[in-house]
Amino acid sequence: MNTDDRKWEIIESEYLIRRPWLTARRDRVKLPTGVEIPEYYILEYPDWVNVIAITKEGKFVLVRQYRHGIKETRYEICAGVCETGEEPLLSAQRELYEETGYGNGNWTKLMTVSANASTMTNITHCYLATEVERISTQHLEETEDLIVHLLSEEEIKALLLNDEVKQSLMAAPLWKYFALYSHS
């Protein structure tokens, strides 16, 4: 018996809302200690992807967009949802193409992270794409308003050091990139 596996037992589960961008449920759970939590709330999401894309010229491909949750416009790496049945790498390649018009290049998985492992069901697959090139125009959805920017490594570092990248799921892979591959 693996004593490190401290999995909770779900005694009862009830969906509170099931909408395209919000699925929430309330679980009644029992901990390995025997303690019961009558109301534990979980948000269900599909897996997400994001991409650190770097052009053949060494520029980072970012988008700038408004985020209503914090009511600010920010620089971000390309990101999106894994469509049902779509492999994460294909989702990442599709998102980069749709949001920026960039593609091709060399792709590697950089890391996987959770936005909030205690209450959210999904993970984010983070990719590094090097040697990308512009192959098309943007193919945005009606609700997307993104402006593409090409930034230098120094500019990205300055954004990170000045807390200008607010989305933690984007800051984490950028910091890992600089820990592993920084040229300066």
Phi then psi for 38, rounded to 5 degrees?
-70, -25
Q: Which residues are catalytic?
A: 142
> Tens place of pLDDT for every residue, the chain, 184 residues?
556 788 999 999 999 999 988 999 999 999 999 999 999 999 999 999 999 999 999 999 999 999 999 999 999 999 999 999 999 999 999 999 999 999 999 999 999 999 999 999 999 999 999 999 999 998 988 888 999 999 999 999 999 999 999 999 999 999 999 999 976 6
Q: Where in the chain is the domain with CATH 3.90.79.10?
A: 48-181
- Cα–Cα distance, 79 to 151 (Å, whole number): 17
CA 148, CA 78: separation in Å to the nearest integer?
A: 10
Q: Say yes or no: domain 48-181 is CATH 3.90.79.10.
A: yes
| pLDDT tens-digit map of 24-61 | 999 999 999 999 999 999 999 999 999 999 999 999 99
Q: What does the block give as tokens for 134?
A: 């512009």
CB under 8 Å to 42, separation ≥6 — which residues?
24, 25, 26, 27, 119, 120, 121
Strand pairing class (48-55; 124-134)? parallel
pTM of the model: 0.92
